[in-house]
Chains A and B, each alone.
Chain A
């Protein structure tokens, strides 16, 4: 009997496998994208085409989909209350909503259009929205997009009470938000906790999509079944793990932007390089974010089937403001001025990033080119400014980033520039994967500038300011990992939120932005551009700032 030796060997191999695998952790930051259409002409209305996606992290449930891969599919399957204009990302009433109105920016009346149906034939009514929102907001349902309803009255009653260690001490007090009220089949009202002029602008986001009664009756069972939406495409079978999902045109679609093709097949790839090879080989029709090392050659290979689109993605290096070393605002300004963002963008990202010159992305209304005075590369001024402070240049600056996501090269380049221009040495702290990196930030564990990124949820300046820098968004409640807190900034944001018109709101947000640009709680680094390529088989490709392809608009050439 030699069983014992075999046992050990089998286990040793299994264990070796686990060790080898666990060494490769990591996560990706948001991708990006933008604007532009090509081609035209009537195509074959019944032909289908295929597109690359990465593995979606969650089931195709809008309330639980917060990443781009699943988001692309969800966007094809659902249409929300409003959509965004291709020109300036303003609200367009081409979705389910007829109108969204308010007198005081706090109580909103939403009226729906007639004729919208889910893929199973049932009507889209006010309850389809209200029930779906209550479902997503209720903490027991563990939906990742829950926090989007945080400004609706009664949201707190739907959250279980937790102690400091995250243990539930009391279940949610209610299952329906008091701020949501169905008036009739076509009308419902939303009461917010405080006025928010740009509320309609937020409603195009995935979290606010309606859900069918079939889903609401059995959410857990339906999560892995064939999704039922109200969008231009419908699914005939559930997503096949690791392979993808095939969608077909929904012929009873009530919206104006019906699908221009017979269907789209989303194919899951682990490695975008493989997808790029596949589109070159003609087996795949569209890749919407090609690998950076392919960018230079892609233009030659694909010609007018190559598209650059700006994305909402914003990369920055946050300062740990809880660290006395970065307390002096001049230190923060000086370090920002000592970084040549253009050089890094060209050398490392082949132009897939552009130098950031504001805290808000160029894709939203209110962005000002060159707004960030301290983002302009000026090594002499930076060194002089730093010399005025009592910053200890003999101690290295620690630069933090999450591992396995391709941040090593550019963070190191930043370190080199700080060393050359300011005479401060640096240490790289890039050994934590996302699962360790994020809690570390929440626990005020960073000892130097740390990498962070943001992809907008809805096209408003406010979405770049409030979630990242307001006092109320400090962890664990939000993503303000710098722990920045400014009364002036908070109050300007509040004024912007309750402004009567969009223009007034934007003006106040810009003033809030100005406070940030002076205080520099973070170093704005890059805005993203994504590069897409497609086969000769399709035309009319448009990638929006959410990095999502407008699948309904794509036509298949006959």
Chain B
């Protein structure tokens, strides 16, 4: 197990190098002139443009730019954005915000999603099962933007039960955005749990367990649920990765200063250093949580062994 994990972690290194280079190349390939766009309609003397280009290595060829970037990286220097702010500072300020938001969303996913899925799966065809079916379909089909703005207006502006935007009120501020961010995944988790549980309940070993006289609770919790959670855990693991970087819409609607918005704004401004730094970090998280999921498999299903 230990060797397996170590091997997997070592393999992330070439992945990160490859991913960062690809992203770097894509930002490099973006058309347009970021330095010219900085000044907008106002003139920017050629001498000042030259100084800015030199500062951000923009006049070097791609490989040289990337080389300089990696060289800085190994020395712990993530570079700076166009306003001279160290990228590391941006990440360290924004990562906790994004992590909190993702955390709240995942908690909603797990609690509401799995609970609804289990209840629906146990009582297939019941009113509750149908209710879950309709609600999840609805959640998946409404765009997050609409869901976000409507709930913000109704719950925040009209009723005033949750903060409208921002993160000034601690964890409380993350409640509604977390729920909105979780909405779609939550629906998938509920569906996945329901189907998977329903399948397992029909399996032979469950019939055997029942036949030898185990009570319903033990059958469901120990024999069925544990098995049927494997696909759900896979989904949630992958979801943590994508929620970390993909919360741009939610972050914008609720004005939460997270990583998603930083990447979005940086791509608009073609700030390679920020884009590459943040996305490489997100790729790392993605790989990491996948590894966690794989390790969890072994915990959930004793038949799975890694060596």
Contact = CB atoms under 8 A, between A and B. Distances in A.
Interface of A: 3, 6-7, 10-11, 13-15, 17-19, 21-22, 24-27, 29-30, 55-59, 64, 66-67, 139-144, 146-147, 150, 159-162, 166-168, 172, 220, 223-224, 240-243, 267-271, 273-275, 277-278, 280-283, 432-439, 442, 452-455, 467, 473, 475-479
B264 A24 contact: yes
A166 B49 CA distance: 8
Contacts of B252: 270-271, 274
27 contacts: A3-B8, A10-B241, A10-B287, A14-B22, A18-B23, A19-B26, A27-B40, A59-B84, A67-B40, A139-B45, A142-B48, A166-B49, A166-B53, A166-B59, A172-B47, A241-B262, A242-B93, A270-B251, A270-B252, A270-B265, A273-B149, A274-B252, A277-B164, A277-B165, A283-B164, A433-B37, A476-B46
Interface in B47-73: 47-55, 59
B134 interface: no
Nearest to A25: B268
User: Size range of the interface on B?
Assistant: 35 or more
Nearest to B14: A7
A438 B40 CA distance: 8
B34 interface: yes
B131 interface: no
B260 to A, nearest CB: 9
A224 B82 CA distance: 12
Given A14-B279, A24-B268, A281-B160, A160 B36 contact: no
Interface stretch (B101-109, B135-143, B150-158, B212-220): B150-158
Nearest to B306: A1
B96 interface: no
A451 to B, nearest CB: 10
Contact of A167 (B39, B48, B59): B59
Interface of B: 8, 11, 15, 18-19, 22-23, 26-27, 30-34, 36-55, 59, 82-86, 89-90, 93-94, 149, 152-153, 156-157, 160, 163-168, 241-242, 245-246, 248, 251-255, 257-258, 261-265, 267-270, 275, 279, 282-283, 286-287, 290
Given A7-B15, A269-B165, A277 B152 contact: yes
Contacts of B36: 435, 438-439, 442
Given A167-B59, A241-B85, A271-B253, A146 B165 contact: no
A223 B81 CA distance: 12
Contacts of A267: 166, 255
Given A167-B50, A240-B257, A467-B42, 20 more contacts: A10-B286, A11-B18, A14-B19, A17-B263, A29-B41, A58-B82, A147-B42, A147-B45, A162-B49, A166-B50, A241-B262, A271-B252, A278-B255, A432-B32, A435-B33, A435-B36, A436-B32, A439-B32, A473-B43, A477-B43
A443 B90 CA distance: 35
A141 B51 CA distance: 7
Contacts of B268: 24-27, 433
A270 B23 contact: no
Nearest to A139: B47
B261 A139 contact: no
Given A7-B15, A143-B48, A438 B33 contact: yes
B203 to A, nearest CB: 25
Given A24-B264, A159-B47, A270-B261, A224 B84 contact: yes
Contacts of B41: 29-30, 452-455, 479
Nearest to B80: A224
A168 B264 contact: no
Contacts of B290: 6, 10
B37 A14 contact: no
A7 B18 CA distance: 10
A318 to B, nearest CB: 11
